[in-house]
Amino acid sequence: MKKIVIASGNEGKINDFKSIFKGFEVIGIKTLLDDFEPVEDGQSFKDNALIKAIEGAKRTNLPVVSDDSGLSVEALEGKPGIKSARFAGEHATDDENNKKLLDLLEGKENRSAYFTSVIAVAFPDGTTSTYEGAVFGEILEAPVGNNGFGYDPLFQTLDGVKFGEISTDEKAEISHRKNAIDKLLKDEELFKKLQK
């Protein structure tokens, strides 16, 4: 069975990709490289997704899939953006990041925001593909619900769906990552190359 490596230690994310790449053996990169910690110093989600995928493919000599994602807020000129996980500091908690976001938005009428996900696939021969997805909405005045992670409790889609109130499965049907994955699944050339 052909192998695909996921450049993540997150079991939930790895399981998501197992459901996509049926017929392949999907492996979390930490099972092969326990020291895999690439420096994500790119200027965009695409840059950082490619950094992880390319380094993983070089080191494992296998196709590697990665994703990089985050939240962009219009009134904050696109911040937190690629620094979403570290918005309130290098080792900030979700609560700390959310508090900083709400503090910066206090008194602002424009609360438009969107999540972005970029999925990258890199092959040992150096070729790569990327797929981008987004979901648009706004930042709420206060956290809502007990579900999700990161900025989910503060995010409401344009259709009024609050990420903090829906299940993981429900979110997976409408999320930015789902939109990026849909584009990947339509790439027949990629799947042909994976079969070789």
Domain ranges, ordered by start, for the chain: 3-195
Catalytic residue among 16, 41, 68, 95: 68
Instruction: Report pLDDT digits (tens) over 129-186.
Output: 999 999 999 999 999 999 888 999 999 999 999 999 999 889 888 999 889 989 998 9
- The question of whether 35 is a catalytic residue gets the answer no
Is residue 94 marked as binding? Answer: no
Q: Would you state the pLDDT for residue 13?
A: 79
Instruction: Give the class (CATH, top level) of 3-195.
Output: alpha beta
Is residue 106 marked as binding? Answer: no
Instruction: Report pLDDT digits (tens) over 22-80.
Output: 888 999 999 999 999 999 999 999 999 999 999 999 999 999 999 999 999 999 999 99
Is residue 171 marked as binding? Answer: yes
CA distance 89 to 70: 15
Residue 153 phi, psi dihedral angles, 5° rounding: -65, -15
User: Minimal CA–CA distance to 6: which of 46, 52, 51, 43?
Assistant: 52
Is residue 186 marked as binding? Answer: no
DSSP, residue by residue, 31-80:
GT-TT-------SSHHHHHHHHHHHHHHHHSS-EEEEEEEEEEGGGTT-B
Is residue 13 marked as binding? Answer: yes
- Residue 164 in contact with residue 152, Cβ under 8 Å? yes
